[in-house]
Amino acid sequence: MTEPTIRPTGIREVTFGPGVTVMTPVNLYECTIGAGCFIGPFVEIQKGVVIGPGCRIQSHAFICELVTIGRDCFISHGAKFVNDTFRGGGPARGDRSRWGATRVGDRVAIGTNATLLPVTICADVVIGAGAVVTRDITEPGFYAGNPARRLRGVEAERS
């Protein structure tokens, strides 16, 4: 019987700002995590990801290569980012020229079990639980559904 190669997860070559808390087990590698962030258990954050200060990355979240997240964001439990949209009819299989990047602005809250394709999201956006974000979001507000649509402004809700 053949034995597989076992590679334990862990924290490898991560640049942390001061005051970060990490619940283990996690799989974090070659990424940058800003001051005061909290990283929950069962999270994976991949190479090159940059997370601004003051963010919470909750349990079961997955943040892939080519994602940048602003400050004071909240990435809820099970939320996952995508860089490979299978364009061309299948997975890119490591061909990064076929991946897309995601940029999340400051004070963005992403709901539980939400899924984000490669998009740009402006500051002060709220993504509802279970949403699938397939397009850029350029206006603050509350977005939900599959695919995600704008339901209302955030300001209305704040008043």
Q: Residue 140 Cβ, how far from a copy of itself at the closest point, in Å? A: 8
Count of residues engaged in binding a copy of itself, rule: CB under 8 A: 69
| Pick 68 or 85: Cβ nearer a copy of itself | 85
Locate tokens 């990801």: which residue?
49
Q: What gap in Å lies between CA 90 and CA 79, rounded to an integer?
A: 22
Burial class of 29 by CB neighbour count within 10 A (0 to 12, 13 to 18, 19+): middle
Token match 């299978």: residue? 86
Instruction: Determine if 33 is a binding residue for a copy of itself (CB under 8 A).
Output: yes
Residues in the chain: 159
For 69, phi then psi, to 5°, come to: -125, 135
Residue 123 is a binding residue for a copy of itself (CB under 8 A): no
Task: Determine contact, residues 141/152, Cβ cutoff 8 Å.
Answer: yes
By beta-carbon proximity to a copy of itself, the closer residue of 40 and 52 is 40
Residues that bind a copy of itself (CB under 8 A): 1-9, 11, 15-25, 27, 33, 39-42, 44, 56, 59-60, 62, 64, 74, 76-78, 80-82, 84-91, 107, 109, 111-113, 115, 117, 124, 126, 128-130, 132, 142, 145-147, 154-155, 157-158
